[in-house]
Amino acid sequence: MKIAILGAGAFGTALAVALSVKGPVTLWGRRIGWRGENPRLPGIPLPEAVAVTDDPAAAMGCDTMLLAMPAQALGGFLAEHGPALDGKMLVSTAKGIDLRRLTGPSALIAEACPAARIAVLTGPSFAADIARGLPTALTLACADPATGQALQHALSTPVLRLYRTTDVTGAELGGALKNVIAIAAGVVIGARLGDSARAAIITRGFAEMTRLAGRLGARPETLTGLSGLGDLTLTCTSQQSRNFRFGHALGAGADFDAATTVEGVATARAVARLADRIDQDMPIAAMVARLADGLVSVDNALEHLMSRPLKEE
């Protein structure tokens, strides 16, 4: 397989570094203003086997493309480049729900590239960890088992271990929804509500994730796997997470750099709309959307969540 990574942010660059141990990789970004080391991934020199380009034509000779841009950018990217990508193996790494279509990345890709073979790469993995060669386990989701198997082998390395599933819906919903819950966990810690409250948010957040994903056709075991519980655990407990840090700043009343990618904000809004549409109760996700939009204070959000009717677990 000839691999190109489209999107030269932290994650695309980290994957390029990791996969370059197996052969040449093309890394495409829409505007490459750096040489040797990507400022979004500081301290990681790019190996020679990574060819960096801002020319989309330079990537089109590859048969396998990893789409490594934020979920809300994917629709616009596909509107421009979809026809050139159709027929290829396309692997999305975005962890979010598109705010306009209320779908995950795989449905956006399927619409723009109907002849593509589509997969999702997700799971607990900070870009910096992958780029440093630290051991990482991910989920590769693909509805077609043969394509999934081929991609699993092509994208695994001695330190990057991919597990396979055909449950694309579950894998991408786990990755998207955990970002929303990670913001809530960050709020709890930023507002000094304590580790016990964070454990409650993680657990009840996971219950919300599982309920919504189940309604949308996901398999329960996918949600308890790397792409669901695994990534939820990582993101809710690490300062490396941008979603957690954003929530922490919200909870502490501190500023946060608006240029940082925080997938959980738009996804919380998307989840709130989706939940309304299918009449699914998602109290934590709904509260994250309202908090991020400044429609409710942390104190009021807490009061609202704590005063809901008592019920069975």
Ligand X SMILES: NC(=O)C1=CN([C@@H]2O[C@H](COP(=O)(O)OP(=O)(O)OC[C@H]3O[C@@H](n4cnc5c(N)ncnc54)[C@H](OP(=O)(O)O)[C@@H]3O)[C@@H](O)[C@H]2O)C=CC1
Ligand Y SMILES: O=C(CO)COP(=O)(O)O
User: Which residues make up each annotated binding site for sn-glycerol 3-phosphate?
Assistant: 95, 123, 125, 178, 231, 241-243
Binding residue (CB under 6 A) for ligand X from 52, 69, 154, 180: 69
94 interacts with, out of ligand X, ligand Y, none, CB within 5 to 8 A per kind? ligand X
Largest CA distance in the chain: 59
- Mind giving me the DSSP string for 38-102? -TTSTT-PPPTTEEEES-HHHHTT-SEEEE-S-HHHHHHHHHHHHHHHTTSEEEE---S--TTT-
Which residues are bridge partners to 162 per DSSP?
Answer: 138
Query: Binders of ligand X: how many residues, by CB under 6 A?
Result: 26
26 is a contact residue toward ligand Y (CB under 6 A): no
**311 catalytic per annotation:** no
- Which 112-171 residues touch ligand Y, going by CB under 6 A? 124-126
Q: How many residues are there in the chain?
A: 313
What's the rounded Cα separation, in Å, for the pair 46 and 50?
Answer: 7
Question: Which region among 54-62, 102-110, 194-202, 235-243 touches ligand Y (by CB under 6 A)?
Answer: 235-243
Minimal distance in Å, beta carbon 127 to ligand X? Answer: 4
Give, in order, the Cα–Cα distances in Å from 86 to each of 123, 158, 201, 237, 260.
Answer: 26, 31, 41, 38, 30
Contact stretch for ligand Y (CB under 6 A) within 19-27, 145-153, 234-242, 276-284: 234-242
| Residue 44 binds to ligand X (criterion: CB under 6 A) | no
Query: By CB under 6 A, how many residues form the interface with ligand Y?
Result: 13
Q: Stretches 104-112, 227-235, 269-277, 285-293: which one binds ligand Y (CB under 6 A)?
A: 227-235
124 binds, among ligand Y, ligand X, none (CB under 5 to 8 A by kind): ligand Y
Stretches 164-172, 236-244, 270-278, 291-299: which one binds ligand Y (CB under 6 A)? 236-244
Residue 243 touches which member of ligand X, ligand Y, none, C-beta under 5-8 Å by kind = ligand Y
Q: Is the dihedral of CA 281, 285, 288, 290 positive or negative?
A: negative
With CB under 6 A as the contact rule, the residue among 20, 125, 210, 222 that binds ligand X is 125
40 lies in the binding site for ligand X (CB under 6 A) = yes
- Which of 131, 165, 171 shows the shortest CA–CA distance to 40? 131
According to the binding rule CB under 6 A, does residue 95 interact with ligand Y?
Answer: yes
Binding site for ligand X (CB under 6 A): 7-12, 29-31, 40, 68-71, 73, 76-77, 93-96, 125-127, 261, 263
Binding site for ligand Y (CB under 6 A): 95, 124-126, 179, 182, 231, 234-235, 241-243, 263
